[in-house]
Protein backbone atom coordinates (compact mmCIF):
# COMPACT_ATOMS: atom_id res chain seq x y z
CA UNK A 1 0.00 0.00 0.00
CA UNK A 2 2.92 2.33 0.66
CA UNK A 3 4.04 2.09 -2.98
CA UNK A 4 0.61 3.32 -4.09
CA UNK A 5 0.98 6.35 -1.84
CA UNK A 6 4.45 7.00 -3.25
CA UNK A 7 3.08 6.87 -6.80
CA UNK A 8 0.31 9.29 -5.86
CA UNK A 9 2.73 11.76 -4.28
CA UNK A 10 5.19 11.46 -7.16
CA UNK A 11 2.41 12.02 -9.67
CA UNK A 12 1.17 15.05 -7.74
CA UNK A 13 4.67 16.55 -7.66
CA UNK A 14 5.21 15.86 -11.36
CA UNK A 15 1.95 17.57 -12.33
CA UNK A 16 2.77 20.62 -10.24
CA UNK A 17 6.33 20.72 -11.61
CA UNK A 18 5.05 20.62 -15.20
CA UNK A 19 2.52 23.36 -14.49
CA UNK A 20 5.26 25.64 -13.13
CA UNK A 21 7.52 25.36 -16.19
CA UNK A 22 7.90 28.45 -18.41
CA UNK A 23 6.62 26.51 -21.44
CA UNK A 24 3.43 25.48 -19.63
CA UNK A 25 0.09 27.26 -19.59
CA UNK A 26 -0.53 25.77 -16.13
CA UNK A 27 -2.99 23.15 -17.32
CA UNK A 28 -1.67 19.61 -17.17
CA UNK A 29 -3.13 16.47 -18.71
CA UNK A 30 -1.91 12.91 -18.38
CA UNK A 31 -2.13 10.06 -20.89
CA UNK A 32 -0.84 6.53 -20.96
CA UNK A 33 -1.67 2.90 -20.68
CA UNK A 34 -0.99 0.04 -18.32
CA UNK A 35 1.32 1.16 -15.51
CA UNK A 36 1.18 4.78 -16.69
CA UNK A 37 -2.60 4.58 -16.45
CA UNK A 38 -2.37 3.40 -12.86
CA UNK A 39 -0.03 6.29 -12.06
CA UNK A 40 -2.65 8.68 -13.41
CA UNK A 41 -5.37 7.25 -11.18
CA UNK A 42 -3.08 7.58 -8.18
CA UNK A 43 -2.00 11.15 -8.96
CA UNK A 44 -5.59 12.23 -9.56
CA UNK A 45 -6.64 10.81 -6.19
CA UNK A 46 -4.66 13.64 -4.53
CA UNK A 47 -6.33 16.28 -6.76
CA UNK A 48 -3.33 18.33 -7.92
CA UNK A 49 -4.65 21.87 -8.58
CA UNK A 50 -3.19 22.05 -12.10
CA UNK A 51 -4.34 18.61 -13.30
CA UNK A 52 -7.23 19.19 -15.71
CA UNK A 53 -7.63 15.77 -17.30
CA UNK A 54 -6.41 12.19 -17.33
CA UNK A 55 -6.77 9.65 -20.11
CA UNK A 56 -5.72 6.25 -18.74
CA UNK A 57 -5.91 3.51 -21.34
CA UNK A 58 -5.76 -0.21 -20.60
CA UNK A 59 -5.56 0.49 -16.88
CA UNK A 60 -8.11 -0.60 -14.33
CA UNK A 61 -9.10 1.56 -11.39
CA UNK A 62 -7.79 -1.08 -8.98
CA UNK A 63 -4.40 -2.64 -9.65
CA UNK A 64 -4.94 -5.03 -6.73
CA UNK A 65 -8.40 -6.26 -7.64
CA UNK A 66 -7.90 -6.65 -11.40
CA UNK A 67 -4.27 -7.74 -11.79
CA UNK A 68 -5.00 -11.41 -11.13
CA UNK A 69 -7.65 -11.44 -13.85
CA UNK A 70 -5.31 -9.88 -16.40
CA UNK A 71 -2.40 -12.10 -15.38
CA UNK A 72 -4.53 -15.22 -15.75
CA UNK A 73 -5.78 -14.01 -19.10
CA UNK A 74 -2.25 -13.28 -20.30
CA UNK A 75 -0.97 -16.68 -19.16
CA UNK A 76 -3.47 -18.39 -21.43
CA UNK A 77 -1.64 -16.77 -24.37
CA UNK A 78 1.87 -17.74 -23.35
CA UNK A 79 1.90 -21.18 -25.02
CA UNK A 80 0.71 -19.61 -28.27
CA UNK A 81 3.36 -16.88 -28.03
CA UNK A 82 6.06 -19.51 -27.47
CA UNK A 83 5.04 -21.41 -30.59
CA UNK A 84 4.99 -18.25 -32.64
CA UNK A 85 8.42 -17.12 -31.44
CA UNK A 86 10.18 -20.51 -31.40
CA UNK A 87 10.95 -20.44 -35.11
CA UNK A 88 12.65 -17.07 -34.79
CA UNK A 89 15.26 -18.46 -32.42
CA UNK A 90 15.93 -21.74 -34.20
CA UNK A 91 19.45 -22.14 -35.56
User: CA 59, 65, 71, 76: dihedral to nearest 10 degrees?
Assistant: -110
* 1 closest CA partner among 64, 85, 66: 64
pLDDT of residue 28: 96
Measured CA angle at 10 (ends 8, 14), to 5 deg: 115
Q: How confident is the model at residue 81 (pLDDT cuts 50, 70, 90)?
A: very low
Predicted confidence (pLDDT) per residue in 15-52, tens digit = 999 999 999 999 999 998 878 888 898 899 999 999 99
pLDDT, position 68: 55
Report how far residue 15's alpha carbon sits from residue 52's, in angstroms, rounded to the nearest whole number: 10
pTM for the model: 0.65
Give the residue with greater pLDDT, 54 vs 79.
54
Whole-number pLDDT of residue 71: 54
Closest listed residue to residue 41, CA positions, set 71, 11, 3: 11
Phi and psi angles of residue 55, each rounded to the nearest 5 degrees, phi first? -140, 70
Amino acid sequence: MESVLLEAKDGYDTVEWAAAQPWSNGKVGMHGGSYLGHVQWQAASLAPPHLVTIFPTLASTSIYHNTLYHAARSNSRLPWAGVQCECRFAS
